[in-house]
Structure 1
Amino acid sequence: MSCKKGQIAQEITKPETPRDTTQVKPPAQGSKGRTIPLGTGSGNLIIDGTKLGLACDDVIKIKGGTYKSIDIKNINTGCNVTIQNDGLVEIAGNSDHIFLSKVSNLTISGKGTAGITYGFVSRDSPQHRSISVTGTVQNLTVQNFAFKNIGDYVVYFNSGQIVYDGSASSYSNNVRFLNNSCSNTGSFLHLEGGVENGVIRGLIKKLEVAYLDFRNSNSGDAVLAENADDYNIHHNTVIDVNSANNNHNGIFTMKGSGSFHHNLIRNHQGNAIRAWTRSFGTTPKEVLIYNNTVVNSRKYSGFEVQSFASMIIGGKTTYSNVKVYNNICGKLNTSKDWVGVVVDVYSLEGGKCEVYNNTGFDFPAPNPKSYIVSQQANTVPVQTNNKYFATAAEAGIPDINALKIQN
């Protein structure tokens, strides 16, 4: 697992009371919700649902400008509320930027103004986080944000000590991060938790991370989820990461079960995914790794799958079955200090592993027994219809830097 820099975590300071007043527009004819303009374009903005009388389909529009912080809390209408930008909204400076607490059924979207792709920009904070989430959240979407020059985690969930007991308040559910970008940041998403002494903490169900553009980072991982049930990681682009990081990294480190597909990882160090597999509940689920393109890694194989006996708890968790298929992997582990093949397979603690229809090329340090699989423990993967080529050209790829996300 990757290690974080030691400087970063600092106590969160709540922002001061904002100076603006709220003027609520009535619903437009034929629409369901109201438009609620907030913000002055500067300072610290607090959006408190208990003071706004929010109802279904209300849209809060934040006035464009540069803010010190935005505190969003107590939004629980039981139906969707949206927060949008009205112009370009930037949060800048060396402090924590956005706070989320006690929210559900909330969409925060940077698509509020035509012609602006990323309507929310968090930038230039070398020692702090961009978004801090306190407690569990339900039905949250964060989309069309840009993050630049952030020294700590970009999004951090402070829920790692919440014990999962099956109740809705004991886990986060249906959380989506869509169409976001990161340049020169720490990890995009960090979800603490664990399984220890029969206790599950920090569980998230139905996590989706999609269409993320993550570049120019030495963070180790882009996403770390310690307890994720039914994750869906897809259509993400990760380029030029970990040039000066030599930990055994997983660009995506996902502990649980779910799908990792249609991602492009290039010019990097670390496995594209370290899938540490387990199923929550008593029914074995699947980890599916498919249609990914992983090329030009300084260290390690395309993917890693493994499980641990300590994470299998009778009546609470069980093993997962793994399928790795339709991936394109090339020029892996150019440092040659470990094997570099399509997938490293460790023990799955009872789970099965199938590896099929993958294409590999130009592996400088393959496993002596296979160009496709490096078996590291007692789980024997079933391999069918995989192909390996000595060069990219022989694989029909004239330029690996021109590869895009698979259809």
Structure 2
Amino acid sequence: MKKITKMHYILCIAILALAACKKQPLVEPEQTKPGIETPVIPPTQPDPNPNPGTPSFSKTYEVGTGSGNLTIDGSTFTISGATLFKIKAGNYSTITVKNFVQDDANPVYVKNNGLVEITSGQSLFSNLRNVVFSGDGTPGIDKGFLFRDISYRAIKLDENAPINKFTIQYVSFRNIGNNVINLSKNDVYDGTSKSYAESLKFLHLDCDNTGGLLSVDGSISSGRPTGLVKNIEIAYVNFKNAPSVGTIVYMGNAENYDIHHNIVTNINTQTDIHNGIFMMKGNGRFHDNHVSNHQGNSIRAWGFSIGTVPKDILIYNNIIVNSRKYSGFEVQSFDDYIIPGVSTYTNAKVFNNTCGNLNLSRDWQGNVVDVYSLKGGTCDVYNNLAFNLLNSPSGPGNIAGQESGLTPTVSNNLYFNTSKEAGILDENTMKLSSTSPAKGKGKHEALSTVDFYGNVRANSPSIGAVE
């Protein structure tokens, strides 16, 4: 046996001493890439339109076995009064709901009874009127329908059958390979109720690592309107973690859309296409939305009005922050959208929005709104608060970027180099300090009576989305 030398002894003692020490691991300081701001954590918004509840049901049916392909076919039931279908908890391949064409006095509700997961194929909704598909059937489960791990689309709205006064609400979608919900309806609009869809609602939905939430075909550029949808509402959607989704809602022909109280974050990190996160063709309102840590215009509002009376595009009370590329909003139209006797222009108003840290890559323009021709329409831009707008290759962006011959009317806006100069307390909430230069400096606007958080606006409102 070898002798343990004095040097060996000293080394053993040193090793034991080091092993006994519980040192904290070294953590390299986080490196901030040039032009990239600290990611914003979207605030939790108050819900100004909480779940109104459901009617008293004259009949309740328990359906489903907990697995397999479930079909609920209205042609096999006699419906009298409000009727509830409760789906047994479990893991289903697909769900089909069809052939419920109800008047207002006899709605049909399809709800969960426990957690209902759909995990294999594309579910189908067909030939429906006054039907609500709602995941609020079990107390303690916020969203009782979960569509997950589906390689293609989660839901198809049947283009070969009418669908009107239809609601999907309190549903979660996770790991969906293509569009979450798709409607390829291309009926030619002739003015009759059979030639368009109406009153579709998509409310209280969660999307995590999915394709686009909703894609609805339609067009007007062919010389005749097709696929018209009237009075669609998209609200209280949380959409996140989609690195190359591009557009999350596409509407090819929409009249009086209402898109509000949605939170979109951490999307389009791996795409540079000039997309609109909401790509809306037609007219309507886009308000009280929060879009952060993204690429693309929050909305590209391409305007036209079916008929001969001009309608409005209204963009207000939105918070848009930390875009890698492009401006906050875009409004424009095209020659082939204006068809004599069939369609006409829209007017646009962009007001009381807060936008900051836009176009951080500096390879395009970073304006609050890019204004292109509206083919006869006007564009008013006012009461907007902005900071750190970046243009390519240098210099700040504009409140309103004039991109064509249409000169927007611009008034009562404020721009600052930083959010601190604007009196913004933090970039997560965009709430104003009591000494903010934006406080009480806006002009009165009857269309916006409350701010992003539901606070009543003063007669002389603050500039931006938050009072």
The normalised TM-score by structure 2 is 0.78
Q: What is the CA deviation profile of residues 25-47 of structure 1, one whole-angstrom value per residue up to 9, with x for unaligned ones?
A: xxxxx955201110001000011
Give the secondary structure class of the aligned counterpart of 2:194. Answer: helix
What SS does the corresponding residue of 1:248 show, helix, strand or coil?
A: coil
Contact preservation (8 Å) 1:322, 1:351? yes
- 1:82 corresponds, among 82, 93, 109, to 109
Residue identity opposite 2:115 in structure 1 = L
Q: After the TM superposition, which residues 103-182 of structure 1 pair with which residues of structure 2 at under 5 Å, given as runs?
A: 103-126=128-151, 128-135=152-159, 136-159=162-185, 161-182=186-207
Q: Partners in 2 of 1:403 and 1:249 — Cα distance?
A: 25
Residues 391 and 397, structure 2, Cα contact 8 Å, conserved in 1: no
Write the distance in 2 (CA, Å) between the matches of 1:222 and 1:399. 27
Q: Tell whether the 8 Å contact from 2:119 to 2:148 is kept in structure 1 after alignment.
A: yes
| Conserved? CA contact 2:389–2:397, under 8 Å | no
Q: Work out whether residues 71 and 99 of structure 1, in 8 Å CA contact, stay in contact via their aligned partners in 2.
A: yes
Secondary structure, counterpart of 1:310 in structure 2: helix
Task: Name whichever structure is richer in strand by fraction.
Answer: 1
Task: Look up the SS of the partner of 1:102 in the other structure.
Answer: strand
Give 1:379's match in structure 2, choosing from 406, 414, 417.
406
Deviations 1:303-334, CA, capped at 9 Å, x for gaps: 00000010111111100000000000000001
Give % identity. Answer: 47
Q: Does 1:214 align with 2:239?
A: yes
Letter in 2 for 1:37: E
Residue type matched to 2:332 in 1?
Q
Greater mean deviation of Cα atoms: 161-170 or 215-224: 161-170
Gap regions ≥5 residues in structure 2: 1-54, 432-451, 455-467
Q: Which has the larger radius of gyration?
A: 2
1:228 aligns with 2:246: no
Aligned to 1:36: 61
Provide closer, same or farther for how the CA distance between residues 83 and 340 of structure 1 changes in structure 2, counting only shifts above 3 A.
same
| Contact persistence 2:389–2:396 (CA under 8 A) | no
- What amino acid maps onto 1:140 in structure 2? F
Aligned residue number for residue 18 of structure 1: none
Pick from 310, 313, 317 the counterpart of residue 287 of structure 1.
Answer: 313
2:86 corresponds to = 61
**1:192 aligned residue:** 217
Is 1:261 the counterpart of 2:287 in the alignment? Answer: yes
Unaligned runs of 5+ in 1: 1-29
The secondary structure found in structure 1 opposite 2:336 is: helix
In structure 1, which of residues 346, 364, 368 is the aligned counterpart of residue 372 of structure 2?
A: 346
Distance of 1:223 and 1:205 partners within structure 2: 15
For the pair 1:271 / 2:302, whether they are aligned, the reply is no
Aligned to 2:28: none
Residue 158 of structure 1 deviates from its aligned partner by 2.3
How far the C-alpha of 1:373 sits from its partner, in A, is 1.1
Query: What is the CA distance between 1:392 and its match in structure 2?
Result: 1.1
Residue of 358, 361, 369 corresponding to 1:335: 361
Amino acid at match of 1:142: I
Contact 1:301 1:343 in 2 (8 A): yes
8 Å CA contact 2:57, 2:84 repeated in 1:
no
CA distance in 2, matches of 1:346, 1:238: 25
Match of 1:392 among 419, 431, 444: 419
Task: Work out which of the residue numbers 342, 356, 374 in structure 1 matches 2:382.
Answer: 356
Check conservation: 1:292, 1:406, Cα contact below 8 A. no
- Partner of 1:7 in structure 2? none
- Give the 3 Å change call, closer, same or farther, for CA 291–78 of structure 1 in structure 2: same
The 8 Å contact of residues 229 and 253 in structure 2, kept in 1 or not, is answered as yes
What is the RMSD of the two structures over their aligned residues, measured on CA atoms?
1.6
Equivalent position of 1:14 in the other structure: none
| Distance of 1:390 and 1:368 partners within structure 2 | 11
Shift of 1:197: 3.3
Count, aligned residues = 374
* Paired letter, 2:278: F
TM-score, normalized by length of structure 1? Answer: 0.89
- Partners of 1:219 and 1:56 lie apart in 2 by 42
For the residues of structure 1 that align with 2:401 and 2:212, how far apart are their CA atoms? Answer: 28
Deviation digits for residues 27-80 of structure 1, max 9, x if unmatched? xxx955201110001000011000011223101111110000011110012231
Instruction: Tell me the distance in 2 between the aligned counterparts of 1:180 and 1:55.
Output: 30
Separation in 2, partners of 1:363, 1:153: 32
Other structure's SS at 2:143 match: coil
Shift in alpha-carbon separation, 1:397–1:369, aligned structure 2, 3 A: closer
Contact 1:323/1:354 (<8 A) preserved = yes
CA contact (8 A) 2:390 2:397 kept: no
Q: Distance in 2 between matches of 1:205 and 1:31?
A: 28
Structure 1 CA distance, aligned partners of 2:402 and 2:72? Answer: 52
Secondary structure, counterpart of 1:200 in structure 2: coil
